[in-house]
Structure 1
Amino acid sequence: MIEAICFDMDGILFDTERLSVESWIAVAEKLGLGNIEKGVYGCIGLNRTDCRIFLKEVYGEDFPYDYFREQTSALFQERVEKEGLPMMKGAGELLTWLQEKGVKIALASSTGQEKVLSHLRRADFTDFFQVVIGGDMVEHSKPLPDIYLKACELLGVKPENAIAIEDSPNGIRSAAAAGMLPVMVPDMVEPTPEIEELLYHKCDSLFAVRDFLEDML
């Protein structure tokens, strides 16, 4: 029995992963850091702690992580202020429908909680969620299961009775490791055969997620 739905944020509710990738590439070019694409795609789904570790493993201990993230965050925020927060199609409709169904809803994002709450307020999404967890609230975020286990604990549901809606391989690995039912809506990265094996279902849009859930809730 499905009792709860846990959402990732970037790439699921908001089209922010695309904006982040563009910001990373622009800053890397400005600083002369070379090709950053391996780093940026590898960091999708990671919190800041694990992202730092990954980037220094890939580019060496001299990689200027703090300054780089300061600059990418500033550029990202500048574009959000100028262009608005990009929404994923169907996000508001799906959240409204789930709320009307009386389903417990959580958000479990690798992004820091302060930024998560800011995005939710900007989109007027705050009231949809009973639980909101940012990546800075757990020691290690995705692909480890901590963030989803915490979400289920705070919702008061067993992981096997909860669906996680994710777009990234790291998010799918996290949800599967927590014992949840991972539903993938690919955004920037398509699932590999390894990820396909972990999926409960795959949808091509949030509208398709609603259709999939129609007979389950």
Structure 2
Amino acid sequence: MIKAVIFDMDGVLIDTEKHLVRCWCQAAREAGFPFTRENGLELRSLAAKYAGPLLQERFGKEFDYEKVRNRRKELMNQVLKEQGIEKKPGVDTLLDFLRAHGIKTAVATATDEERAARYLKEIGIYDKFDHIVCATMVPNGKPKPDIYLYACEKIKEKPCDCMGVEDSPNGIRAALDAGLKTVMVPDLTEPDETLKKELFAVAKSLDGLIPVIEQENKC
């Protein structure tokens, strides 16, 4: 039985991961590092406390994570100011379905509280969630399970009765290790064969999860 659905934000609810990866590449290259798209993909949903050491492992101790990250934020803010926030396909259809069927909803995002609220309000879905949980609220961000466990606590449901919706390996790992029924709605990458075996389901878009939920709740 699925009693709640907990969503990642970037790449799941809003179409921002493409900008994040591109801005990471630009910021790091401006600093003189041969940063590739693959390096950017590794950072999806990865908490800063893990991202910094990872990038220093890739590029050496001289990689100034905070400096590059701040520049990435500047670039990202500029892109979003020019282009706005785009919803991912099927967002409203799925959220309306969940509300109509009494299924709780939450967001579990690596983005800070201020920006998460601003982004979700901009696309008109902020009030459709019971709780917004950010990595700043827990000791360890993704890929650790803390944020999903805390989200389950806030909505007062057991992890095994919750579905976690993710688009990246780091987020998937967090949801799986928290004990949620974890589904992937691919954004920039598809799941590999190993990951597929661990997932509860894969859907092409968010509204594609409706039959998955209906089937599970018939059992």
Give the TM-score normalised by structure 2: 0.93
Tell me the equivalent position of 2:19. 19
Question: Where has structure 1 moved over 4 Å in runs of 4 or more?
Answer: none
| Whole-angstrom CA distance in 2 between matches of 1:138 and 1:42 | 21
- Tell me, yes or no, if the aligned pair for 2:117 and 2:126 is still in contact at 8 Å: yes
For 1:3-22, what per-residue CA distance to the aligned partner results, in whole angstroms no more than 9, with x for missing partners? Answer: 10000101100111011111
Q: Residue 181 of structure 1: CA displacement? A: 0.3
| Whole-angstrom CA distance in 2 between matches of 1:201 and 1:215 | 12
Tell me the equivalent position of 1:210. 210
**Is the counterpart of residue 6 in structure 1 residue 24 in structure 2?**
no
Structure 1 residue ranges without an equivalent (≥5)? none
Two-structure CA RMSD over aligned residues (Å): 1.4
> Number of paired residues?
217
Tell me the equivalent position of 2:192. 192
- Tell me, yes or no, if the aligned pair for 2:47 and 2:143 is still in contact at 8 Å: no
Q: Residue 213 of structure 1: CA displacement? A: 1.9
For 1:111-145, what per-residue CA distance to the aligned partner results, in whole angstroms no more than 9, with x for missing partners? Answer: 22222111111112111111111112122112111
| Whole-angstrom CA distance in 1 between matches of 2:158 and 2:82 | 42
Among all aligned residue pairs of Structure 1 and Structure 2, give the percentage whose two residues are the same amino acid. 34
Tell me the equivalent position of 2:182. 182
| Whole-angstrom CA distance in 1 between matches of 2:72 and 2:200 | 34
For 1:85-109, what per-residue CA distance to the aligned partner results, in whole angstroms no more than 9, with x for missing partners? Answer: 1221111221122122221101001
- Tell me, yes or no, if the aligned pair for 2:6 and 2:163 is still in contact at 8 Å: yes
- Tell me, yes or no, if the aligned pair for 1:50 and 1:140 is still in contact at 8 Å: no
Structure 2 residue ranges without an equivalent (≥5)? none
Q: Residue 153 of structure 1: CA displacement? A: 0.8
Tell me the equivalent position of 1:96. 96
